[in-house]
Structure 1
Amino acid sequence: MTEENKSVKNFPNLLPKLRFKGFEGSWTSIKIENIAPLQRGFDLPSQNIVNGNIPIVYSNGILKFHNESKCTAPGLITGRSGTIGKFTFLEEGAYWPHNTSLWVTNFFDNDPKFIYYLYHTINIENFSTGSGVPTLNRNNVHNQICNIPPVNEQKKISSFFTSIDNRISTQKKIIEQLETLIKGVGYKLFNKKIRFKNTDLSEFPCWESKKGNEVFSNISNKNHNSELPILAITQEHGAIPRDFIDFQISVTDKSVESYKIVEKGDFIISLRSFQGGIEYSEYNGICSPAYIILRNKTEVNSYFYKYYFKSESYIKQLNKKLEGIRDGKMISYAYFSDINLPLPSLNEQNKITNFLSSIQGKIEMEKQILEKLKLQKKFLLANLFV
């Protein structure tokens, strides 16, 4: 034991809540600087990068490749400034840790992959300083006391978490493939490259084309019901009661008097919505007068347009309409009104909606599985480490 490590001790009761069979004895308490110390990465201005096969690891991962290296794997890199809390682990090969990152200079005969997971347990972002662009203070990280088992138990733990990460990676690929599928099929359906048929195999009638204001009205009914929930409008959740999600907004009783009433099945446009982001509401509620409320004038399947408004076909039309506008592509009802919307027969709308909903349902189910895997990993990180 080195002179600076005299404070390192083995405590009889220093054990994780969960432990693999066959391992005994207590874990060792030791400072990070004597387990896996960090060092600032190396300067490499963009103009000096020469295209090659050596990964350059920035604060948020591998972004570019160079023809020279500074280090050899195994490598563990985290953000020094900007993105803090993200870790990149390299199993093999040479790499260049960028000056926006910190890299582990010595694993001291510990299992490198175990150290990668150990670093996930210490909430490293709490060691950052600065109110503008946060910077990680590696000296404070080095003073953090961590607990580690013998290397054979380290390998068992890292192998276990690697299998979980592989499963999470596979789950993400499943979701990506399904999202690619629904996007590709949606493109073909909305551009009539593929068509459904009636149950008797007869052809559906040709699609009509209507202006936006022929299909949807601009609703501006003011709020007179204090019991209606305030809706948050997000790309991730659509229009959803703000109490359902972590959405902070300051609203007074007086301000909601000017809010607009939203009915289930309405569409909501933000005046500065990204790429024409028209969000569908599954709820009755109220929303800020800054939003445009669309309600169908004729009998349609609202879900048909829920998918269409997210399609490449619609977004391309809208962006073409907004070209040259200087106000940040502000969307108005007038712009929306002048866009041509497809209007298939209601039966064909239903067919398209049911098909796309079956894929979307599968995507949502796979996303739930992914979240459960992430929660499982979080629980195990908390209980397989001390």
Structure 2
Amino acid sequence: MKSNLRRLFMLNVPKLRFGEFSGEWENSELNNLIEISSKKFNPKTNNENMKCIELEHISQGTGELLGFTYSNKQESTKNIFKKNQVLFGKLRPYLKKYSLVNFDGVCSSEIWVLDGKKVVNNYLFQLVQTYKFNQIANISSGSKMPRADWKYMSEIPFFIPQKLEQQKIATFLTAVDKKIEQQTKKKTLLEAYKKGVMQKIFSQEIRFKGDDGGEYEDWVEKKLEEIFKIGSGKDYKHLSSGNIPVYGTGGYMTSVNEYLYDGESVCIGRKGTIDKPRYIVGKFWTVDTLFYTHSFNQSIPKFVYLIFQRINWKKYNEASGVPSLSKSTIESIKINLPSLEEQIKIANFLSSIDQKIEQASKQIEASKAFKKGLLQQMFV
């Protein structure tokens, strides 16, 4: 397989290129292009307190640094890194953990500290995101704890442009990264706004008014059994293939030719994942680990979905092993319920925020797909 990969990547010009550049790219083994820093930090003998990055501090597939700890809290030997070096998680390389750091510090010994020899580091940061780099990184040693094999990787040939072209590519792709970062921040702010507004709505700090400006009735305490009924999921394996979706606690599973319920419903896990409610509209089937709601009374499904999002379901877990809920436990939960008219106002208002969040999510996915395409076409 290793020899096949070598033959697969023997192209010498990218499909997409800036117009001012021409000519073939240089062919060189990875070992000649980049190097792994071997500088070590022993927290037992070095009293300097430095920022420390562990694998859990690096986001999967985004290059985002989620945080850090400090070296005085560590016991094991760490790798030293400097500002503008590239980090790449060698343990379980399929997780795609990489970062271009903007400060000096130390990191886990399971993270490579990479420096460019014939490539500039901001270009190197983009290079480690390419399909080719990740393919060879995943030709790893070990099964339970796979690690990228630098001895193998270092011998793989890569084609690279001159540094001026490297810098142009890196600058362009960095701009795309910043756009994705801005879109992600926008989504995060919208989600935080929704969470804050929901808190004020359900604490009744914010109240809606009728179209005539009049106030709605006071909220009343109800048990969930008073506002809907709970249906149990069933096995679907006797059914034929079709276009009716089947859902479990993990989401969509398959499609069959019959439905268990047709209409609006809010589902919640009976066993397994019990804290991820799902709002469904139309014909569907649920398996026996997923409850669905129906026969709504003095309530609308979208508002029930909002209620379900606010309930701490793990608090009602009835099992010591796999988390579980029973119908009786769900039915006995008490909530405060506004009038139907106010429920509709609340649901419509929060749905408008959800639509903006969904739109932001689509923009992020589109930008990520665009970036992925660029990586495929701008690198060899």
Is the pair's TM-score, using the shorter chain for normalization, greater than 0.5?
A: yes
| Closer, same or farther: CA 212–165 of 1 in aligned 2, 3 Å | same
In the alignment, the residues of structure 2 paired with residue 156 and residue 234 of structure 1 have an alpha-carbon distance, to the nearest angstrom, of 47
Instruction: Report whether the alignment pairs 1:216 with 2:228.
Output: yes
Q: Which 5+ residue runs of structure 2 have no aligned equivalent?
A: 1-9, 59-66, 73-77
Which of 102, 116, 136 aligns to 2:125? It is: 116
In the alignment, the residues of structure 2 paired with residue 187 and residue 51 of structure 1 have an alpha-carbon distance, to the nearest angstrom, of 44
In the alignment, the residues of structure 2 paired with residue 299 and residue 156 of structure 1 have an alpha-carbon distance, to the nearest angstrom, of 61
Q: Is the 8 A contact 1:41 1:97 kept in 2?
A: no
Give the TM-score, by structure 2 length. 0.82
In the alignment, the residues of structure 1 paired with residue 177 and residue 243 of structure 2 have an alpha-carbon distance, to the nearest angstrom, of 43
Q: Is the 8 A contact 1:215 1:297 kept in 2?
A: yes
Q: What residue identity is the alignment partner of 2:227?
A: V
1:377 is matched with which residue?
371
In the alignment, the residues of structure 2 paired with residue 63 and residue 264 of structure 1 have an alpha-carbon distance, to the nearest angstrom, of 47
Which of 93, 96, 100 aligns to 1:85? It is: 96
Can you list the C-alpha shifts for 1:80-110, whole angstroms capped at 9, x where unaligned? 214542111124x322132111121x42142
Q: CA deviation at 1:74?
A: 2.3
1:95 is matched with which residue?
105
Instruction: Report whether the alignment pairs 1:72 with 2:82.
Output: yes
Can you list the C-alpha shifts for 1:40-87, whole angstroms capped at 9, x where unaligned? 784767x88978453435375353223698332321111121454211
Instruction: Report whether the alignment pairs 1:293 with 2:292.
Output: yes
Can you list the C-alpha shifts for 1:318-346, whole angstroms capped at 9, x where unaligned? 44444x85344421111101101332111
Q: CA deviation at 1:304?
A: 1.0
In the alignment, the residues of structure 2 paired with residue 382 and residue 138 of structure 1 have an alpha-carbon distance, to the nearest angstrom, of 23
CA RMSD of aligned residues (A): 3.0
Can you list the C-alpha shifts for 1:333-374, whole angstroms capped at 9, x where unaligned? 111011013321111011001100010000001111111110
Q: Which 5+ residue runs of structure 1 have no aligned equivalent?
A: 1-10, 244-252
SS across alignment from 1:201: coil
Q: Is the 8 A contact 2:265 2:292 kept in 1?
A: yes
Structure 1 stretch displaced more, 122-131 or 224-233: 224-233
| Closer, same or farther: CA 51–343 of 1 in aligned 2, 3 Å | farther
Can you list the C-alpha shifts for 1:282-302, whole angstroms capped at 9, x where unaligned? 231222123222213415221
SS across alignment from 2:12: coil
2:304 is matched with which residue?
305
Aligned residues: 351
| Closer, same or farther: CA 339–48 of 1 in aligned 2, 3 Å | farther
| Closer, same or farther: CA 147–234 of 1 in aligned 2, 3 Å | farther
SS across alignment from 2:109: coil
In the alignment, the residues of structure 1 paired with residue 46 and residue 350 of structure 2 have an alpha-carbon distance, to the nearest angstrom, of 45
Q: What residue identity is the alignment partner of 1:159?
A: T
Q: What residue identity is the alignment partner of 2:117?
A: F
Give the TM-score, by structure 1 length. 0.81
Can you list the C-alpha shifts for 1:140-175, whole angstroms capped at 9, x where unaligned? 111221110000000000000111111111111000
Q: CA deviation at 1:278?
A: 2.4
Q: What residue identity is the alignment partner of 2:295?
A: N
1:242 is matched with which residue?
254
Which of 248, 255, 263 aligns to 1:233? It is: 248
